[in-house]
Structure 1
Amino acid sequence: MSRAEAPGEPMPKAAATSGTPGPGPEAVRTPGPLWSLGLLRSELVTTFRRWRTLALLAVLAAVPVLVGIAVRIETSDGSSPGGGGGGQGPAFISQVSNNGLFLVFTALAATLPFFLPMAIGVVAGDAIAGEASAGTLRYLLVAPAGRSRLLLTKYATVIAFCLAATLVVAVSALAVGALLFPVGDLITISGTRISYTEGLGRALLIALVVAASLVGVAALGLFVSTLTGSGIAAMATTVGLLITVQILDQIPQLDALQPYFFSHYWLSFADVMREPVYWDDLVRNLGLQALYAAVFGSAAWARFTAKDITS
């Protein structure tokens, strides 16, 4: 008795209609690298064409505009804008009126604690749960993608959004700074002078560091997205965790734990503006983000590959 005639086993559709046996397991096509690139391209196009994504990028682009206008109004009488010393975070705002390139550093420092991670949390939280709530996750898995390949593609898309969101803030700040303030040679935190071209290079390096600082949040959001079938719940949970961690990072009694919070070294990008560049906290930040990406990426993979997909 053949496999197609065995009792209790459904006949393949092709065998039922034509009388010929269906293809064996060896005939199933394994997706190649070009197919994987096509899947990634499709995910990128889908993500960046959503109105929600475009709205998030528009809000991020508006932050440097508002900061630049506020500084311009405040310094219109010749006074200096507020900002403390030390070159940490918003302290760069005191230099914006002297050189518009400092608006890039100020805007990144202003958006990094909340706006940027919130945007990443929304996109990452919706990556898997959004497909489940829309009823499209099962159809994605019908294609020869495989769960691991699909999860990796989703994470790569979120990382691409991290980079795009950071560059949107940096480019918007660069344009507004050049329009509203003078530009030229920069004075570093260490007091040395560097050329405007070198300053642009450091601004690009800072943008890349900020984007890399968000890969841990992306992995956390992706993991949360595999725990629920509701995109809204996943996004809200991820954003709630971001806010909670940053509140805990400000409590002095938790100083022993704070170096392990993913947000603790975010503002270390200011060390790029030292001469020479101070790498210690930058390396700690990147290493911590890699650790979070590995832990929560593995957790997301373990959950997603064992999860029953019903929608």
Structure 2
Amino acid sequence: MSQAEAPTAPENTGPRPRNPLWTLGILRSEITTTLRRHRTYALLAVLAAVPVLIGIAVRIETGGGGSGGGPGGGGGPAFLTQVTNNGLFLVFAALAATLPVFLPMAVGVVAGDAIAGEASAGTLRYLLVAPAGRTRLLLAKYASVLTFCLVATFVVAASALAVGALLFPVGEVTTISGTRITFGEGLVRAGLTAAAVAASLVGFAALGLFVSTLTNSGIGAMAATVGLLITVQILDSIPQLSGIHPYLFPHYWMSFADVLREPVHWEELSRNFQLQGLYAAVFGSAAWARFTSKDITA
């Protein structure tokens, strides 16, 4: 065969299609990395300790002849007054105690560090060398933050359930509406409550991810995210600003209590989920626009 007749290799006329398994690999890697960090273990340990402290405090108070409940001045249902009668209520009390501060602060730390932490460590450029693309990497980062939201919420619920069953009697559950449901159905309601709490953090997670794309300092992004959380919660507590309260992401957080009604009241829950979806869409899009056009130098 002459040189002119020798077969030639086909030319590469375009980029190779990306293998979907590669996307799953990135997602699995990001989730695993997030959950295996020592910082994540520390955050989860603090969250798990909150129900323990609440349970011990209630047990000590009731052991001394107290009623187990404090003065009813809070904005949410007085779950603590029911803990001594049924340890399952410690799940709802712990979620009510951790949702305003502890859970969102933990999520703010993880979300704020998602992109900025990689940039400050000098690993972001190496991540982008892989044929994943910025969009897929950003989605994987967001998915890892949402996974942490779910894991953190269920860690609080599981810790509260274990402590409640150990320190207090368990049995049929009296709902907020006054009806009684079986313990098994109460467990289902507790799981739904934890899922609702995790869903309440979806919008804030997107906000934290957006902040993380604005800077190369992981500590700065975490501080800014937590600072925004505190600022918005202060705004939500000022009566003179009631006109903007329905548009603030933490406004409907305590609506998870409606899961413990018979039947379940979905109106406030639906508003909460819609608001979280709106925040996720707006700040997720802003994070994508910033990250895909950002000059990566670290």
Q: 2:53 matched to which residue of 1?
A: 66
Paired letter, 1:110: A
Paired letter, 1:274: R
Equivalent residue runs for 1:1-311 within 5 Å: 24=12, 26=14, 28-83=15-70, 89=76, 91-311=78-298
Deviation of 1:88 after TM superposition, in Å, equals 5.4
Q: Is the 8 A contact 1:30 1:144 kept in 2?
A: no
Q: Is the 8 A contact 1:64 1:173 kept in 2?
A: yes
Q: TM-score, normalised by structure 1?
A: 0.90
Q: Is the 8 A contact 2:77 2:257 kept in 1?
A: no
Paired letter, 1:99: N
Q: 1:11 matched to which residue of 2?
A: none
Summarize deviations over 1:272-311 as a string: whole Å, max 9, x none. Answer: 1111111110000000000000000000000000100001
SS in 2 for 1:91: coil
SS in 2 for 1:75: helix
The 1:25/1:89 distance shift into structure 2, 3 A limit, reads: farther
The 1:88/1:102 distance shift into structure 2, 3 A limit, reads: farther
The 1:237/1:87 distance shift into structure 2, 3 A limit, reads: closer
Paired letter, 2:215: T
The 1:84/1:271 distance shift into structure 2, 3 A limit, reads: farther
Q: 2:4 matched to which residue of 1?
A: none
Aligned length: 291
Q: Is the 8 A contact 1:187 1:194 kept in 2?
A: yes
Deviation of 1:31 after TM superposition, in Å, equals 2.3
Q: Is the 8 A contact 2:47 2:152 kept in 1?
A: yes
Structure 1: state its 5+ residue gaps: 1-19
Paired letter, 1:120: V
The 1:61/1:189 distance shift into structure 2, 3 A limit, reads: same
Using the alignment, how far apart are the partners of 1:246 and 1:192 within structure 2?
33
The 1:74/1:310 distance shift into structure 2, 3 A limit, reads: same
Q: 1:9 matched to which residue of 2?
A: none
Q: Runs (4+) of structure 1 moved beyond 4 Å?
A: 84-88
Using the alignment, how far apart are the partners of 1:284 and 1:169 within structure 2?
24
Paired letter, 1:268: S
Using the alignment, how far apart are the partners of 2:181 and 2:248 within structure 1?
33
SS in 2 for 1:229: coil
Deviation of 1:193 after TM superposition, in Å, equals 0.5
Using the alignment, how far apart are the partners of 2:45 and 2:31 within structure 1?
18
Summarize deviations over 1:60-106 as a string: whole Å, max 9, x none. Answer: 00000000000000100232123455995361001001000000000
Instruction: Judge which range, 80-89 or 212-221, deviates more.
Output: 80-89
Structure 2: state its 5+ residue gaps: 1-7
Deviation of 1:25 after TM superposition, in Å, equals 5.2
Q: Is the 8 A contact 2:48 2:155 kept in 1?
A: yes
Paired letter, 2:80: I
Paired letter, 1:225: S
Using the alignment, how far apart are the partners of 1:84 and 1:129 within structure 2?
43
Q: CA RMSD in A?
A: 1.7
Q: Is the 8 A contact 1:213 1:266 kept in 2?
A: yes
* Identical residues among aligned pairs (%): 76
Using the alignment, how far apart are the partners of 2:201 and 2:128 within structure 1?
28
Paired letter, 1:42: S
Deviation of 1:226 after TM superposition, in Å, equals 0.2
Summarize deviations over 1:37-56 as a string: whole Å, max 9, x none. Answer: 11111111111111101100
The 1:84/1:266 distance shift into structure 2, 3 A limit, reads: farther
